[in-house]
Amino acid sequence: MDRIALQLKDDVKEAYLHWDAFWHGDIIDRPVVCVTSPIDEPTADWYDDNYYSRIHADLDKHVKGVLGNFRKRFYGGEALPKAFLSFGCDEIAAFCGGELCFNPDSLNTNWSVPFVTDWEAALPFVIDDDNPLWQRMLRYISKSAETYYGKMLIDPIDFHTNMDLLMAARGSGTLCMDLLDCPEAIDRAMESTLEIFRKVWRETRKAGNGTVSEGATLQCDFSCMISPAMFRRWALPVLEEEAKEVGRVTYHWDGINALIHTDDIIASHGLYCIAFVPGEGNGTHADYIDLYQRVQSGGKAISVYGPPEMIKRMHKQLNPRLTVYHTETSSRKEAEDLLQWFVRNT
């Protein structure tokens, strides 16, 4: 894709050089480090950007409000100013006919009510081009692209396709039984999820008109509920096909119960960068050095999060060519000092 200059990141060309080196298994002078901080000068109030406002707010007001938020942050190293436009984890299920429901106590939490009662009647899954939520997403991306062009980027939406789409459409417990009772129907359903992924990927990028950032995060949170044999039959082949479509892929590997698929994730094709999330109560990323070293020994890169002092300690034990660090500091100076520390210690 053509790379445009970004008003909110004057060193974006240098950042892209580091990213390009990373995706080719190389390094320039330090690992990829994405560090953000508040800007030093006083700022106005923060615009309330959440799943609910993205669906219901006036688009012009919302898009401008989000841009105002991004103007209040410093994006250091390889951090890129990118607006995340997702309507929720189950948005693609909603595009296919589901209904998004909100928790009244959290406007940034929603889910799709299961709507499949009979696989034979439901398949193949399709996105109705007249679906109101799908149409709003395309308008939202188009409006954001128009407003953000030359200033910042748009992140790809939340791709809970694969078996996560089936889980949202059918319900997790019922889907688990279906894997045993009607596996051939699940085969056909997975073919549908791949076609839906391709449609969403291509049409959202087209709507973004050059502002959607490269690559995407893929995931299969349902994997924590299935055996390695089931993962290899249904989830992994579709993930690998999704990865072919995307190119530069980070795999969001969610929860310690998903670690039963470690060997398959390491051996996978196209899932190059692995972002393991331990989950609430399961420690920090620094507690999984052995796992990260195993993943890197298998030729995969890793993406880790943590405060500056923690990622400094991790840096001493990880391959800098195969690591992306995400962190936050309290000021721009601290962010720039951190980047220089990584240069000196790589």
pLDDT tens per residue, range 140-182: 999 999 999 999 999 999 899 999 999 999 999 999 999 999 9
Tokens 């700022």: give the residue. 43
In a domain, 1, yes or no: no
Query: Which amino acid would we find at residue 91?
Result: E
Asked whether 161 and 193 are in contact (CB, 8 A), the reply is yes
Domain total for the chain?
A: 1
In a domain, 6, yes or no: no
Q: Is the peptide bond before 124 cis (omega within 30 degrees of 0)?
A: yes
Mean pLDDT of 213-223: 95
In a domain, 243, yes or no: yes
- For the whole model, what pTM was predicted? 0.95
In a domain, 7, yes or no: no
In a domain, 106, yes or no: yes
Res. 85: pLDDT tops 90 = yes
Mean pLDDT, the chain, rounded, equals 95
Res. 44: pLDDT tops 90 = no
pLDDT per position as a tens digit, 265-292:
999 999 999 999 998 899 999 999 999 9
At residue 222, the pLDDT reads 97
At residue 178, the pLDDT reads 98
Of the pLDDT bands very low, low, confident and very high (cuts 50, 70, 90), residue 54 is very high
Spatial distance between the Cα atoms of 235 and 230, rounded to a whole number of angstroms: 7
| Lowest mean per-residue pLDDT among 42-46, 77-81, 120-124 | 42-46
* Paired sense of beta strands 99-103 and 106-113, if any: antiparallel
CB atoms within 10 A of CB 291: 18
Tokens 């959202």: give the residue. 204
In a domain, 4, yes or no: no
Spatial distance between the Cα atoms of 130 and 113, rounded to a whole number of angstroms: 20
In a domain, 5, yes or no: no
Res. 1: pLDDT tops 80 = no
Asked whether 242 and 218 are in contact (CB, 8 A), the reply is yes
Q: What CATH number should be reported for the domain holding residue 62?
A: 3.20.20.210
Mean pLDDT of 239-264: 97
Mean pLDDT of 208-234: 96
**Taking Cα atoms as reference points, which of 83, 63, 68 lies closest to residue 153?**
83
Range of the domain at 210: 12-344
Spatial distance between the Cα atoms of 36 and 17, rounded to a whole number of angstroms: 19
